[in-house]
Amino acid sequence: MKFSDFNLKDTIQAAIIEAGFTEPSPIQRDAIPLVLKGHDMVAQAQTGTGKTAAFGLPIMSMMKANGNIESLVIVPTRELAIQVSDELFRFGKLSGIKTATVYGGTPYGKQIERIRQASIVVATPGRLQDLLMSGKIKITPRFVVLDEADEMLDMGFLDEIKKIFTYLPKERQTLLFSATMPNAIRKLAEQILKNPKTVSITKSEKTNTKITQLYYVVQERERDDALVRLIDYKNPKKCIIFCRMKKEVDRLVAHLTAQGFKVSGLHGDMEQKQREITIRAFKQGGIDIFIATDVASRGLDVNDVTHVFNYHIPFDSESYVHRIGRTGRGGKSGEAITLVSPNELRTIKRIEKDVGTKMITQVIPTRMEVQNNRKDALIHKITQTKITDKAVELVKTLQHDIDIVTIAHLLAAVIQSEDSVKGKDNIGLGLEEIELLIERAMQNHKNSGSGRNHRRGSGGRYRNNRFGGNHHRHHRGNRSKNRRI
């Protein structure tokens, strides 16, 4: 099946082609026809399965883009609001469809002005309720999407959701997406939907057994340093770094380029021609490090990727499987490395359970370990190098003024001066500290009984407060001895 089979309007189809999409995902295949027929819908699907396009494409195909707010998408967090808004803008820009992103922590005035110019509003529950109850905005959307409903339930937004729907028109098409279906979500669906159709996408993907899966626990402020240190230590032949948002891609491209790496980025704002040029350069070896978002990486098929790095842990298990599947292709082995903050440890355990895999905890190598690793690699390279006539001639020239031992020392100094390891000695947490944090996280979850915030870790999806208070680094000697050259 292809997207053209849905008979979406021409400008939406053109945007799909420009984005590089060809075949719909399972949720898109099942949901789009139902939405186009005007049905209310309950869809059970994880983030990362393509559900933004599953509701966005058919809704935008039916919109008039007449300057009124025709669609409302409610999401649990600011970060997801930005991500969904960006993706909808990309699909709707050729149709003249504008999006407004509404969330707390920013001035009301700017957001209200954007809402007045928009056709689609993507909003978090708290700020949206404030705007509606205060009378600052009045909207009558034809289409309403409740995205990640169970996440909003976990975050305590159920009352806000119910209140918001009292301000919305009764004549509307309502779509509810949720990864799980607890009783509270089922009851909510009964209240806000009319004779809904049901779509359920079950998880079937498993991880490749030839991919070694590692994770490193670092503080939020240490992510950049940890990434550079691990690239230095692992010395990947070719690797992909996954980010959540395009602004992270752009920032990391600039950061790693400044560190001397051959790097390029890929995200949804790139034109198709530029995307093709960038991917071709990566395949042909002109680029060693590729930084991409989940959406942009669709269709990326490169057989000799040795490492995949998750700069942030992905939103869900399916995205994790998709990301790490970019390595270990064609029967080869690969390595998947994930950076996590202390409060994301429970999410690691959830992903392990979901996909039936085991991720190994390791400690970020010290500067000395990286230096020793490089020295071993250099010695190996020297012993395997063939002597050339130019090298013999150079040594003969130097011997007129310098003895042979001093020449060797000088040449070694020249080589090693270009191979210094930057950054602080220790980055991230030690193994025993990580084990203690995991034990506390799981015990707290067990004691809570309600399962609140189970899917995304303590305190919600993106909160980066340090788990369990201040912990001091210790037992760094208890680290993996496996080294790669």
Residue 444, pLDDT score:
60
Kindly state the average pLDDT of the residues 340-351. 85
Residue 300, pLDDT score:
67
Contact 125, 160 (CB under 8 A): yes
> pLDDT of 100-124, one tens digit each?
999 988 889 989 999 999 999 999 9
Distance CA(149)–CA(180), nearest Å, equals 9
Residue 461, pLDDT score:
33
Q: How far is CA 288 from CA 86, 211, 332, 430, in A?
A: 28, 19, 18, 30
Sorting pLDDT into bands at 50, 70 and 90, what band is 456? very low
The conformation of residue 344, written as its DSSP 8-state character, comes to: G
Structure tokens at 348: 């690691």
CATH dotted code for 3-200: 3.40.50.300
Locate CATH 3.40.50.300 in the chain: 3-200
Helix (H) / strand (E) containing 292: strand 289-293
The conformation of residue 239, written as its DSSP 8-state character, comes to: E
- Please tell me which residue, 30 or 483, carries the higher pLDDT value: 30
Structure tokens at 167: 């301000």
Q: Which of 104-113, 205-214, 237-246 has the lowest mean pLDDT?
A: 205-214
Task: Say whether pLDDT at 39 is over 70.
Answer: yes
Contact 164, 74 (CB under 8 A): yes
Strands (E), 116-235: 120-123, 143-146, 173-178, 197-200, 211-217
Helix (H) / strand (E) containing 370: helix 367-384
Report CA 219 to chain centroid distance, whole Å. Answer: 18
Q: Which of 160-164, 306-310, 358-362 has the lowest mean pLDDT?
A: 358-362
Q: How far is CA 172 from CA 63, 136, 140, 168, 175, in A?
A: 13, 22, 9, 8, 10
Q: Which of 166-175, 189-198, 459-468 has the lowest mean pLDDT?
A: 459-468
Contact 307, 230 (CB under 8 A): no
Residues 42, 45, 47, CA angle at the centre, nearest 5°? 125
Helix (H) / strand (E) containing 247: helix 246-258
Judge if pTM exceeds 0.75.
no
Distance CA(182)–CA(44), nearest Å, equals 11
Task: Say whether pLDDT at 455 is over 60.
Answer: no
Percentage of the chain beyond pLDDT 70 is 85
Distance CA(97)–CA(99), nearest Å, equals 7
Residue 418, pLDDT score:
58
